[in-house]
Structure 1
Amino acid sequence: MHVMLMTYGTRGDVQPFVALGPGLIQKGHRVTLTAPERFAGFITDHDLEFTPLTDALIALMDDPQFAHASDPKASALAKLTSLFAIGKKARALQDTLLDDIFDAIDQGKPDVIVFHPKTFGALPIARHFGIPVVMAQLIPSFIPTGDYLHMGTPDLGLRDTLGRWYNRVTGKLIYRVLNATLRRQVQRWAARRQNRINAKDLDIVKSCQTGTLPIIHAFSNAVISRPKDWPTHATVTGYWFLDGTTQTNPPDPALQNFVESHKNLIYIGFGSMPGNDPTAMAEMIAKAVSQADVSAIIATGWGGMGDIDWPSNILAVREVPHDWLFPKVDIVIHHGGAGTCAAALRAGRPSIIIPFFGDQPFWAKRLHRLGVAPRPIKPAKLDAAMLARRIKTVLETTSYRNNAERIASKIADEDGIANAIAEITRAVGQSDLPKTGSL
């Protein structure tokens, strides 16, 4: 069958789908990966068919307003103002993304669509054409549970029965607001396009809960146990790791020599996060590394730190394959993105997390509860002395490393890609959607 994988966002949103693609091909399926245009080379390098989506929404991360919204030193009012401005721009660009999703499905004519929630338009468009769909989640959302808080909910410290009730009720409230927002967006777009797509009854949350929309979660049960109060069609497959590629090959000699010649080596990287003052951040990192008496590899993708004159115990790289490097370091210091958390856990290495927004605080708390990371550091309180103390604490506390290695062993026993393929195949076999479109 022809499987269309559809995702949107940063590298962390795309790479798991690139990993899933070859697994499907090995089972005899044709695969098309639909993703932001900027990832064309990354996707085709892995011998996958590619259909582009607009880069416009991702480009908002380069907007100064986005940097202001994530600036830990900005006031609450300034952050809200920036978020409102970014949201207004994003809403205007959503129509372009929905146009691209429609065209990709109309032209690709897949037999099934596996979509990331950021491409939520795939649900009503696929149903219009009578195509089975599966939602693929990299984080736990869209299905309320009493087991843990939704990442957008304040933690009141409630426990036991009252805590579970609070988790479910607040989760349902957030999902209803989110669902109404998505429905309005699609309705407005469908009216403009006059494409006869019915968005009036669009309810992603209800679809997830009733089973009409199968949902697979690409993370490990060792990290987040599948809640017992989830419906049976919501599964946790295990992580989708990208293996057997040039990513695992040794990088340039300078990096390899640095790794081999330094002890107490740490990694510091903040993914796609913007930076308002890269020079000040670099000075803080250099001071913390010196005070902790360690060496560090810095991924400079964060905020333009590539132009900094670093001391000899720090090596700056633009990017580095996590699966090659992380097993060779003692600590992974990062922002708490789902992909970086997964890579650190898989390598059996403890983390120090400075979460900024979105799902990052959720993962930071989760890794702390697992005993593989100390309490997350709030960006507004981050300084050299605090970071140096955390580094020393993690190096001197063996339980962090032991816990991380224990979880890594469990992750190694999972086959997330095989489990996901089984669920996708099952969903197609059970689908009885009538074709209402014109494929």
Structure 2
Amino acid sequence: MHILLMTYGTRGDIQPFIALAYGLQQTGHMVTLAAPGRFQSLVQQHGLAFAPLTDALINLTSKPQFANASNPGTGFLKKISSIVKLRAQGRDLQGALLDDIFETINRIRPDKIVFHPKAFGALAIADHFAIPAILAQLIPALIPTRAYPHIGFPNMADCQKYNLLTGKLVKGLVNLSLRNSLRDWASKRHKVIPYQKFDILKSQKFGAITVLNAYSNAIIARPNDWPKKAAVTGYWFVNDALYEPSTEMTSFIKNSQKLIYIGFGSMPATNPQKTAQMLIDAVKQANVQAIIATGWGGIASDVDWPSNIYAVREVPHEWMFKHVKTAIHHGGAGTCAAALRAGCPSIIVPFFGDQPFWAKRLYTIGVAHQLIPSSKLDAKCLASAISDILATPQVHETAKRIAKQISHENGVATAVDLILNGTEIAA
């Protein structure tokens, strides 16, 4: 069997699919992973076949308009102007992504497709070629439930009708938006794609699709009212054995007494130099040592870093979080998963999207400090949070306990079994 995995987004969206692809390949099946072209070397170093998708949509995150649109401190008119410009650019670039998805599926003609929600076009195009498709999501965002509200809505105490309504509302809006995107693309490219009744959870050829939720039941329990084809598999982790730190980093870690990690991945900043200086001040005030991952522009790298800070562009979280006492990050699903696996408490500074949801969830289960909104982040509040979390043994004990629970799960093996055998989940 040839299985095509399709994912899109940042590294946090790619790594779980690498783990899944590797697990499928170990069972003897042919596997191809389609992802943004910038991740080719990352995918191929795990011995996987790679199919490139356009980087253009991801590149929007480096535009000034993206920083303006996502920064809570941006003025109202400037924010609206930035959003309008991004939507216009994104509409055209989404067509390029759909082109790549279509051409990849057409060229490979796999027996099954597993797709990330950001590669939503894979479902309609799979229907066009009569190929079964499976949705794999890293957050519980697309299946309505009475158990909790959609992640974009506030909690209302035990109001099941409200919870279900929020989920149905978001699912309806998502389907409408994606249906329109497919219609526009199909019209311009003269493709005959079944988009008229597009539903992200339903194939027009095969009916309800399997949905794999790649996180742990220990973090978010599977709701009893989910459909039988919706599974919580456990996290999909990549083996970090390939990473070798530099001699300088190894020495810095060895000689640090209170080592923390700071990194915001691809999150934008209107003033990266100011952000870097703020972090320097916070680390000094908290009297700790820090490894700072400058990422892709949010934190300036051309800085005269003091001796209590070691700066790198990026470092695998799965490896790094085993060596620090706390991790300060943006709250992306993949970063949270790595911290949970390592038993590393978090201080989360959410920017947008699902990040506030994860920040609140990790705080609720006792493995994170109360979130710091990105608009409120300064050296004083960050230093205070660092001191608080280092002085709270219960947070560290809870993080270790949950890490032990997660270590007993095998999310990849569970997902592989569902992909290959299609077993339904007991409600």
The residue aligned with 1:4 is 4
CA contact (8 A) 1:211 1:231 kept: no
- The AA in structure 1 aligned to 2:324 is V
Cα distance in 2, alignment partners of residues 23 and 355 from structure 1: 31
| Post-superposition offset of 1:69 | 1.2
Provide the secondary structure at the position in 2 that maps to 1:306. Answer: coil
Cα distance in 1, alignment partners of residues 164 and 76 from structure 2: 27
| Post-superposition offset of 1:34 | 0.7
Aligned-residue Cα RMSD (Å) equals 1.7
The residue aligned with 1:21 is 21
Once the two structures are superposed, what CA deviation does each residue of 1:235-260 show, in whole Å capped at 9, x if it has no partner?
Answer: 0111110016413xx40010010000
- Which among 221, 232, 235 is matched to residue 225 of structure 1? 221
- The AA in structure 1 aligned to 2:162 is Y
Query: Is structure 2 residue 284 aligned with structure 1 residue 290?
Result: yes
The residue aligned with 2:262 is 268
**Residue ranges of structure 1 left out of the alignment (5+ in a row):** 431-439
User: Alpha carbons of 1:52 and 1:112: their partners in 2 closer, same or farther (altered >3 Å)?
Assistant: same
The residue aligned with 1:435 is none
CA contact (8 A) 2:363 2:370 kept: yes
Once the two structures are superposed, what CA deviation does each residue of 1:109-163 show, in whole Å capped at 9, x if it has no partner?
Answer: 100000001111111110111111000001111101222221222x2x5202x2x
The residue aligned with 1:386 is 381
Please say which of residues 327-336 and 65-74 is displaced more in the overlay. Answer: 65-74
- The AA in structure 2 aligned to 1:393 is D
| Post-superposition offset of 1:211 | 6.2
Moved >3 Å (runs of 4+): 205-208
The residue aligned with 1:49 is 49
Cα distance in 1, alignment partners of residues 65 and 2 from structure 2: 40
User: Alpha carbons of 1:424 and 1:14: their partners in 2 closer, same or farther (altered >3 Å)?
Assistant: same
User: Alpha carbons of 1:371 and 1:227: their partners in 2 closer, same or farther (altered >3 Å)?
Assistant: same
Provide the secondary structure at the position in 2 that maps to 1:305. Answer: coil
Cα distance in 1, alignment partners of residues 156 and 139 from structure 2: 23
Mapping 1:57-206, distance limit 5 Å: 57-153=57-153, 155=154, 157-160=155-158, 162=159, 164-205=160-201
Q: Which structure has more helix as a fraction of its residues?
A: 1
Query: Is structure 2 residue 353 aligned with structure 1 residue 355?
Result: no
Taking structure 1 as the reference length, the TM-score comes to: 0.93
CA contact (8 A) 2:240 2:319 kept: no
Mapping 1:407-422, distance limit 5 Å: 407-422=402-417
Cα distance in 2, alignment partners of residues 134 and 336 from structure 1: 26
Cα distance in 2, alignment partners of residues 360 and 246 from structure 1: 28
| Post-superposition offset of 1:229 | 1.5
User: Alpha carbons of 1:166 and 1:76: their partners in 2 closer, same or farther (altered >3 Å)?
Assistant: farther
Provide the secondary structure at the position in 1 that maps to 2:369. Answer: coil
Taking structure 2 as the reference length, the TM-score comes to: 0.95
The residue aligned with 1:341 is 336
Provide the secondary structure at the position in 1 that maps to 2:301. Answer: helix
Cα distance in 2, alignment partners of residues 36 and 226 from structure 1: 30
| Post-superposition offset of 1:9 | 0.7
- The AA in structure 2 aligned to 1:137 is Q
- Which among 233, 237, 244 is matched to residue 237 of structure 1? 233
| Post-superposition offset of 1:10 | 0.8
| Post-superposition offset of 1:74 | 1.1
Once the two structures are superposed, what CA deviation does each residue of 1:169-193 show, in whole Å capped at 9, x if it has no partner?
Answer: 1221121111101001111212222
| Post-superposition offset of 1:205 | 4.3
CA contact (8 A) 1:331 1:352 kept: yes
**Residue ranges of structure 2 left out of the alignment (5+ in a row):** none
| Post-superposition offset of 1:77 | 4.0
Once the two structures are superposed, what CA deviation does each residue of 1:332-373 show, in whole Å capped at 9, x if it has no partner?
Answer: 000001111011110001000000001111110110111111
Cα distance in 1, alignment partners of residues 393 and 342 from structure 2: 16
Cα distance in 2, alignment partners of residues 75 and 207 from structure 1: 43
Cα distance in 2, alignment partners of residues 321 and 308 from structure 1: 22
